Amino acid sequence: MPLTMQRVTPIDWNFLVLIRWISCEEAQVLLVTVLKELVSLLARSLDIAKTDWLWASTISLAIASPQVPTKIASTRVEAILFIQNSPLPAMGEQLMSQLGFGIVGTGMVAGVIADAIATSTNAKLIAVSGRQIDTAQSFVTKRPGVVAVQGINGLLTCADVDAVYIATPTAAKEDIALAVIAAGKHVLIEKPLVDHASVLRMTNSAAAKNVAFMDATHFVHHPRTALIRKASAEKIGQPRSLHTAVYFPISDRTNIRFDVKKEPMGALGDFAWYSMRAVVEYLRPKGKITTVLMVPERDPKTTAVVRASGLIAFDGGEVSTFDIGYTAGTAIMGLQLLGTSGVIEMDDFVLDWTDSFAFKNPDIKTGYTHRTGMATRKDVTFVPTPSNVSGEVAMIDTFAEVAASENAAQRAGFVASSLKTQEYLDALWAAAES
């Protein structure tokens, strides 16, 4: 089974294998045999003594043929290997082009995402934009190779910027996002957003330009979220009720969260976003909103919402209650998901205690607890859900994959989640304002 190898101009991928089936007759050919020969050929070409890392790594196969029968008598396979002159990938590392990122904003959360991009194997930070050039320059001082630019136009003209993370005050986000989309670049946007109509304008524009749009909600991308969704039917039956509590102690009135012009919803937009996203991810109501009750508390000097309690119910019978704010004097990130046969609980559903930008406690296992029947505290089951990376890094990895794949259904799924979260948040805000 001869294999031929052709070197071409280096590209971003470490290697891409394209196997083309030339002729097919009756008999069975094992693809494993093909791959082993391919790995051996690659190793000999690169003078690599050991091929373990090649065999363990992902090999992408594109099979071009009108029809490939299950039984093949004789097959001539041509393998074209595109080799990049770069360090060899680690075992099991995914081989894909790095997504070039730009960041609009130079605040704390922009720094969190810049660090996540630096950690991700799928992305690279290219440039950072600030309203003032000196703030952008200060931001990139300890980020070698990252360019500081002033204003959005300077960022959008950077040829290596494929995607832009927007970390500006909420009131400015839509205009920036639409400019980014018009330039043909993917958008990762920090929550909260102005309203449902704004999200719809941005997502429709992104779809028209065939670019990805995703909100930057970290916990969505942690493996725990998908594992709970997968296990919930078995462990708790049909989810019927969800309670969340999200508090972080913030009292500095110079904080942007207290500026009602830049962040109109205050703590409601800041933290009830997580509560409503938990509704989307875990409770998953199918029907329309039937009831919304809100009790907000406002800062007497700035009028910003600093605490709120509320309820949102749906015509399928699902109900979510929540408490959010800045006033509890401690960090609270509790979640209870009640079903028809049990309850799932977490005390860190927003930012896990183990490995997130705010908490680093490797001795605390990430996971959730499960209880059913008449189980007492001693009978509670802890289900571990470990992750190799933090939630924010997982988000960058996922976003890079979504941007690269051009998978319309996958992109639409993330858009739908953003729209639903904002729809529920708008309903809370309307009740709070009434």
Query: What are the φ and ψ backbone dihedral angles of 270, each rounded to 5 degrees?
Result: -65, -50
Rounded Cα distance between 158 and 147, Å, is 9
Place of tokens 């097959």: 75
Task: Find the helix or strand (DSSP H, E) in which 114 lies.
Answer: helix 108-119
Residues 207 and 232 in one domain: no
Mean pLDDT score, 42-62: 40
Residues 318 and 426 in one domain: yes
Average model confidence (pLDDT) across the chain? 84
Rounded Cα distance between 324 and 297, Å, is 10
Residue pair 322/282 in contact (Cβ under 8 Å)? The answer is no
Which residues, 6+ apart, have CB-to-CB distance to 134 below 8 Å? Answer: none
Residues 194 and 335 in one domain: no
Residue pair 328/249 in contact (Cβ under 8 Å)? The answer is yes
- Is the predicted pLDDT of residue 42 greater than 60, yes or no? no
Place of tokens 């595109």: 82
Instruction: Find the CATH number of the domain harbouring 386.
Output: 3.30.360.10
**Start-to-end Cα distance in the chain:** 75
What the block records as the tokens of 329 is: 């004097």
Q: Which of 25, 53, 83 is the last residue of a domain?
A: 83
User: 349-358 pLDDT, tens per residue?
Assistant: 999 999 999 9
Task: Find the helix or strand (DSSP H, E) in which 393 lies.
Answer: helix 391-405
Query: What are the φ and ψ backbone dihedral angles of 369, each rounded to 5 degrees?
Result: -105, 155
Rounded Cα distance between 417 and 380, Å, is 31
Residues 371 and 342 in one domain: yes
pLDDT of the residue at 51 = 37
Residues 151 and 168 in one domain: yes
Residues 244 and 108 in one domain: no
Residue 144 domain-assigned (yes or no) = yes
Determine if residue 116 is left, alpha or beta; phi over 0 gives left, psi from -120 to 50 gives alpha, anything else beta: alpha
What the block records as the tokens of 366 is: 């990430």
Residue 3 domain-assigned (yes or no) = no
Rounded Cα distance between 141 and 22, Å, is 54
What the block records as the tokens of 224 is: 């725990």
Per DSSP, the three-state class of 202 is: helix
DSSP 8-state symbol, 360: B
pLDDT of the residue at 358 = 95
> Which stretches of 315-371 are assigned E, i.e. beta strand?
319-325, 332-338, 343-346, 367-371
Residue 177 domain-assigned (yes or no) = yes
- Is the predicted pLDDT of residue 317 greater than 60, yes or no? yes
pLDDT of the residue at 97 = 83
CA nearest to 284, candidates 292, 293, 276, 294: 276
For residues 385 and 75, the model is more confident at 385
Residue 229 domain-assigned (yes or no) = yes
Q: Which of 190, 216, 242 is the last residue of a domain?
A: 216
For residues 57 and 93, the model is more confident at 93
Rounded Cα distance between 206 and 184, Å, is 8
Mean pLDDT score, 383-389: 97
Name the residue range of residue 291's domain.
219-391+401-433
Residue 5 domain-assigned (yes or no) = no
Mean pLDDT score, 48-73: 36
Within 120-260, residue ranges assigned H as helices are 133-140, 151-156, 170-182, 196-208, 223-236
pLDDT of the residue at 73 = 32
Q: Which of 56, 83, 110 is the last residue of a domain?
A: 83
**What is the edge-to-edge ordering of all strands in the sheet holding 319-325?**
289-298, 305-314, 319-325, 241-247, 332-338, 343-346, 367-371, 381-384
Residue 7 domain-assigned (yes or no) = no
User: 9-22 pLDDT, tens per residue?
Assistant: 333 333 333 333 33
Determine if residue 302 is left, alpha or beta; phi over 0 gives left, psi from -120 to 50 gives alpha, anything else beta: alpha
Residues 244 and 280 in one domain: yes
Instruction: Find the CATH number of the domain harbouring 104.
Output: 3.40.50.720
User: 267-291 pLDDT, tens per residue?
Assistant: 999 999 999 999 999 999 989 999 9
Residues 29 and 71 in one domain: yes
User: 108-164 pLDDT, tens per residue?
Assistant: 999 999 999 999 999 999 999 999 999 999 999 999 999 999 999 999 999 899 999
Residues 189 and 228 in one domain: no
Share of the chain above pLDDT 90, in %: 76
User: 218-239 pLDDT, tens per residue?
Assistant: 999 999 999 999 999 999 999 9
Place of tokens 């109509």: 197
DSSP assignment of 274-320, as one string? HHHHHIIIII---S-EEEEEEEEEE-TTT--EEEEEEEEEETTS-EE
Residues 168 and 249 in one domain: no
Question: Global pTM?
Answer: 0.79
- Is the predicted pLDDT of residue 76 greater than 50, yes or no? no
Rounded Cα distance between 398 and 93, Å, is 14
104: which strand partners? 129, 166
Rounded Cα distance between 335 and 345, Å, is 6
What the block records as the tokens of 334 is: 């509790």
Residue 401 exposed, middle or buried by CB count within 10 Å (0-12, 13-18, 19+) = middle
Residues 298 and 333 in one domain: yes
Using omega within 30 degrees of 0 as the cis cutoff, is the peptide bond preceding 192 cis? yes
Amino acid (one-letter) located at 88: L
Alpha-carbon distances of 43 from 8, 18, 91, 93, rounded to whole Å: 17, 17, 15, 17
Residues 177 and 295 in one domain: no
Strand pairing of 381-384 and 367-371? antiparallel
Tally of domains in the chain: 3
Residue 396 domain-assigned (yes or no) = no
Neighbours of 169 (CB within 10 A): 15
Strand pairing of 61-63 and 15-21? parallel
Residue 93 domain-assigned (yes or no) = no
